[in-house]
Amino acid sequence: MKNIWICGLFVAVFTFAIESRACTRVVYFGPEQTVLTGRTMDFAIDIPANLWLFPRGMERHGQVGPNSLQWVSRYGSIAASSWDIATPDGMNEKGLVANMLWLVQSEYPPFDKDGDATGLTIAAWAQYVLDNFATVNEAVESLRKEEFVVVTDFIPGTDKFTTVHLSLSDATGDSAILEYVEGRLVIHHDSAYQVMTNDPLFEEQLAISSYWRNIPGTVFLPGSNRASDRFVRASYYINAIPQTSDPLLSVASVFSVVRNVSVPYGISTEGQPHISSTRWRVVADQSRSVYYFENVLTPNVLWVDLNQVNFSAGEPVRKLVLDAGQVYAGNALEHFIETEPFEFQGL
């Protein structure tokens, strides 16, 4: 019986352990409506981030030609940028968090910039959600109508074609995962969906979760950097850490989980070119509207309390420059400077 169990475990681990770029997202529930979302940003090349404060009332453009989606932001937000051309992570003033993670299997609908369909660059997908919705349910009900096409392209200057899925969570603890599968939008919507990694598709990640529920985490947890193993560890630890409303303990606990599932800096795995180093980490305290950021190349955690930010329409966009190794610790709001908003990369 023991040999059969070990063989089954071996097969299950290696069946689901496909190559992927490594990011992980977790949602934490504590007492007194405490909700936090943590994530790692892992990538094969350096992906410099800056933090941006966007007010309400911003006029936005989908950046894919004459039929681009256009909107005016309803909510203010903080966003972490990639190369100042995209928003892969952020939280708005209502506590809605959006995280983009790589998904090699993504297949988006065809888009003709001279056709009739309305388009939105994938670089602004997360920002569109942060700008327009207060809750996961609001976002899901709107996005499932598919009133626009998400349009992707290569990351400028690279051979990397952008393929991502989007996770959402809100201050109530609700959660959703949005993926494009064979050109069709698939939405998984349930507060039980606390953990997401990269490949495989989320439906298959749920199968991994179901298998590992039968194996106590106190007995065995898979330890590699592969997406399936990180999914298992994150799923176990996010519910094993102290469940508390204390902001210091809850934030520290969630950071401990995202560090556990991070990929050590400089790691490369022979035959696994898509397993990538962790570049930065975020913990968003949605109960208290505080956004924590940690760059792995600097020794400190900084944070921004959104309760102290004036998001009124007409207020300036502000930026915290981090992409040249600048070091900040603690509340960094005073170090943001007025600047023009970046333009989302499009067609």
Closest residue by Cα to residue 99 from 49, 37, 151, 152:
37
Task: Judge contact between 86 and 123, C-beta under 8 A.
Answer: yes
The pLDDT value recorded for residue 217 is 59
Residues 171-229 pLDDT 10s: 999 999 999 999 999 999 999 999 998 878 888 877 776 666 666 655 668 877 787 88
Flag whether pLDDT at 274 surpasses 70.
no
The pLDDT value recorded for residue 242 is 95
Residues 234-252 pLDDT 10s: 999 999 999 999 999 999 9
SS3 assignment, position 206: helix
Q: How many CB atoms lie within 10 A of CB 108?
A: 18
Mean pLDDT of the region 330-338: 98
**What is the share, in percent, of the chain residues with pLDDT greater than 70?**
88
Q: How far apart are the C-alpha atoms of 259 and 18, rounded to whole Å?
A: 21
Flag whether pLDDT at 273 surpasses 70.
no
Flag whether pLDDT at 104 surpasses 90.
no
Residues 44-101 pLDDT 10s: 888 889 999 999 999 999 999 999 999 999 999 999 999 999 999 999 999 999 999 9
Task: Judge contact between 95 and 136, C-beta under 8 A.
Answer: no
The pLDDT value recorded for residue 312 is 98
Name the pLDDT band for 18 (thresholds 50, 70, 90): very low
Closest residue by Cα to residue 125 from 157, 163, 156, 93:
163
Residues 130-139 pLDDT 10s: 999 999 999 9
Q: 8 in the Ramachandran plot: left (φ > 0), alpha (ψ -120 to 50) or beta?
A: alpha
Residues annotated catalytic, as ranges: 23
Flag whether pLDDT at 306 surpasses 80.
yes
The pLDDT value recorded for residue 143 is 98
Q: How many CB atoms lie within 10 A of CB 282?
A: 27
The pLDDT value recorded for residue 5 is 34
Mean pLDDT of the region 327-338: 97
The pLDDT value recorded for residue 218 is 59
Name the pLDDT band for 141 (thresholds 50, 70, 90): very high
SS3 assignment, position 322: coil
The pLDDT value recorded for residue 228 is 81
Residues 21-46 pLDDT 10s: 579 999 999 999 999 999 999 988 88
Q: Which is more confident, 160 or 322?
A: 322
Q: Domain spanning 2-338 has what CATH number?
A: 3.60.60.10
Name the pLDDT band for 320 (thresholds 50, 70, 90): very high
The pLDDT value recorded for residue 226 is 80
The pLDDT value recorded for residue 202 is 82
Report pTM.
0.89
Q: Which residues of 135-167 are buried (b: 16+ CB within 10 A; e: fewer)?
A: bbebbbeebeeeebbbbbeebeeeeeebbbbbb
Average pLDDT, the chain: 89
